Structure 1
Amino acid sequence: MEWFNVGRIVNTHGIRGEVRVLSTTDFEEERFAVGNRLAAFKKDDKKPTWVTIESVRRHKNFILLTFEGMDNINMVEPFKEGLLKVTKDQMTDDLLQENEFFFHEIIGCEIVSEEGEKIGVVSDILQTGANDVWVVKGAKKEHYIPYIEDIVKEINVDDKRIVIHVMDGLL
């Protein structure tokens, strides 16, 4: 089964079973909605525990979640430093608007210039607030490409190929 990360459980919070989650999804409202099911992977564990979200609230830069049937710290402590994931079936395209993509569709794409010069492959995506920045592993060094209209000209996730306009100072 193919899994996709939506959050990392960085710690517990209080004694009533809350976990502190660092989100790794653009769709927090949908992924962390009350009643939603997620696969919780304990640190270094390959088999998930399915959990249903009972409550959700924001606290500073974190999302605080409780899971149904886990109402004290002892029940959620084993999930500390674990991951929250969804399956490919849970990732529906109706969450996306035009010219939006899931991270897993962009990561692994080859970046080429409008002239056809190979620049590298997207290895990570940084969320800055203003726009996403793609980390691109080139042959000799790493590049940071902002996902903005002036730079990204064409995205073909089926062929894993992205064409960009190389502005002065970008590379």
Structure 2
Amino acid sequence: MSGADWIELGDIVGVHGVRGAVKIRSWTRPRENIFSYPIWRLVSESGEQTATLIKGQAQGRGLVAQLKDVNDRDQAAALRGAKIQIPKADLPPPAPGEYYWADLEGLQVQTVTGEDLGTVTGLMETGANDVLVVQGERERLIPFVPELYVKQVDMAAGRVIVDWDATF
């Protein structure tokens, strides 16, 4: 599978206890949904490996996972910083009008008047609403508010049409 065939669901941020459990950060909503995918590809600077989830649970404000063949704190610590990915094909299809963030990255952003603002390079969660990070001649942060600012997402054409002043 190519890199485009995988989607990042979170990362390993630390260790938990002495029996090899890892602390994870999840991008899924709700955050525990990451445990719905039992086979992970862990990608780090040292390479990639497949990991099998034995169990996962919420632990305070974070998440803790036990992975097969990770049996002690040192093995768990070696995974710190690894990105957790799954095959994109394993995700359920989004409902009409909904998008996975990863599907929006790389789309061209144009104003309703046709002015090119750049490319979606990421999204941010602010609490009030999600925000498109658009990189063109400069970086712009555009609230992802359908109908108000985001007028159209055309996946087939590879673009997002926004009602946004290009001078902002």
Do they fold alike, i.e. is TM over 0.5? yes
Aligned equivalents of 1:135, 1:165: Cα separation in 2:
15
**Residue of structure 1 equivalent to 2:49:** 48
Instruction: Pick closer, same or farther for the CA change 1:163–1:151 going to 2, 3 Å.
Output: same
Which consecutive unaligned segments of at least 5 residues does structure 1 have?
Answer: none
Aligned equivalents of 2:29, 2:111: Cα separation in 1:
27
The share of aligned pairs that are identical, in percent, is 23
Aligned equivalents of 1:170, 1:73: Cα separation in 2:
51
Aligned equivalents of 1:23, 1:30: Cα separation in 2:
8
**Residue of structure 2 equivalent to 1:25:** 28
The alignment of Structure 1 onto Structure 2 pairs a total of residues equal to 164
**Residue of structure 2 equivalent to 1:132:** 130
Query: TM-score scaled by structure 1?
Result: 0.84
- Note if contact 1:56-1:66 (Cα within 8 Å) is conserved in structure 2: no
**Residue of structure 2 equivalent to 1:98:** 96
Shift of 1:147: 0.5
Aligned equivalents of 1:27, 1:45: Cα separation in 2:
30
**Residue of structure 2 equivalent to 1:36:** 38
Among 11, 14, 25, the residue aligned to 2:14: 11
Q: Is 1:157 matched up with 2:155?
A: yes
Which consecutive unaligned segments of at least 5 residues does structure 2 have?
Answer: none
Shift of 1:98: 3.0
Shift of 1:71: 3.8
Instruction: Pick closer, same or farther for the CA change 1:86–1:67 going to 2, 3 Å.
Output: same
- Note if contact 2:39-2:50 (Cα within 8 Å) is conserved in structure 1: no
**Residue of structure 1 equivalent to 2:143:** 146
- Note if contact 1:54-1:68 (Cα within 8 Å) is conserved in structure 2: no
- CA RMSD in angstroms comes to 2.1
Query: TM-score scaled by structure 2?
Result: 0.86
Shift of 1:6: 0.8
Shift of 1:126: 0.6
What SS class does the counterpart of residue 78 from structure 2 fall into?
A: helix
Q: Specify the code of the residue in structure 1 equivalent to 2:160.
A: I
Aligned equivalents of 2:35, 2:156: Cα separation in 1:
29
